[in-house]
Amino acid sequence: MNRFVIAEPRKCIGCNTCMAACIDAHKDVGLVGHARLIVVRDSKSGTAPVLCRHCEDAPCVKVCPVNAITHTDNSVLLNESLCIGCKLCGLACPFGAITPAASEPVDKPECYGNYVPESMLNQLPASPASVSPFLAWNAGRKMIAVKCDLCYFSSSGPACIKSCPTDALFLVCNDTLNDTVKIKQEAVALSAELVDINIAKLKGE
């Protein structure tokens, strides 16, 4: 089973600490400084972070034309150096957990210096914040996809989990899934016992 991070909405306070920690953790290792999760706000249900579920039959893996997304170490990882920014993975993701983000190219082409001065590139207008990342433009910057990678580069695990002040985020793996199933089974068994007792009372036994 692939591992993934999930949130408990009742504990989330919408502080965005997880997003900030995610950005810092990835910038520190030279990856795109963009959050791999997003805190979604709803007037009725409150807030909760949305992350990649690392699907077993991941549609993003299937649609990537350059094999930049692969099943690796019980997770679905995206190689940012291979990504060409086609945005197909973001469109295919059923959870909306893949977002295009602009970054400095891994290897900045020399033609920038030959044909367009870098100072001129810096003066060109960037796309407004209100524009969808799928339609955004940023001259001289490479648009690539970003998604949760479970902070594979860190021995201590995902930065979002460590930073959450209310412990709303947790890692789901085989062990945690088995424990959860066991708890539910015990709850159902207990409910069945209570039902039997109530029936017996009704029958006057």
* pLDDT at residue number 104: 60
- Let me know whether 166 and 186 are in one domain: no
Tell me how far CA of residue 69 lies from CA of 17, 50, 54, 89, in angstroms. 27, 19, 11, 9
pTM score = 0.73
Distance CA 44, CA 167 (A): 21
- Let me know whether 178 and 118 are in one domain: no
- Let me know whether 74 and 42 are in one domain: yes
- Let me know whether 69 and 110 are in one domain: yes
- Let me know whether 31 and 18 are in one domain: yes
- Let me know whether 158 and 192 are in one domain: no
**φ, ψ for residue 204 (rounded to 5)?**
75, 20
- Let me know whether 46 and 100 are in one domain: yes
In 3D space, the residue among 124, 96, 101 whose CA is nearest the CA of residue 35 turns out to be 101
* pLDDT at residue number 175: 82
How many domains are contained in the chain?
Answer: 2
Distance CA 69, CA 61 (A): 5
Name the DSSP letter for residue 106.
S
Domain span at residue 140 reads 4-172
Q: HSE of 85 in the Cβ direction (CA atoms, 13 Å)? A: 17
Task: Please give the chain's pLDDT, 205 residues, in tens.
Answer: 899 999 988 899 999 999 999 999 999 998 888 999 999 988 777 898 999 999 999 999 999 999 999 999 999 999 988 999 999 999 999 999 999 987 664 445 555 445 555 555 566 666 777 777 777 766 666 789 999 999 999 999 999 999 999 999 999 988 878 888 888 888 877 776 666 666 666 666 6
- Let me know whether 20 and 99 are in one domain: yes
The answer to whether 94 and 83 have CB atoms below 8 angstroms apart is: no
- Let me know whether 88 and 155 are in one domain: yes
* pLDDT at residue number 197: 65
Q: Are strands 99-103 and 4-7 parallel, antiparallel or unpaired?
A: unpaired
- Let me know whether 92 and 135 are in one domain: yes
- Let me know whether 41 and 128 are in one domain: yes
- Let me know whether 134 and 190 are in one domain: no
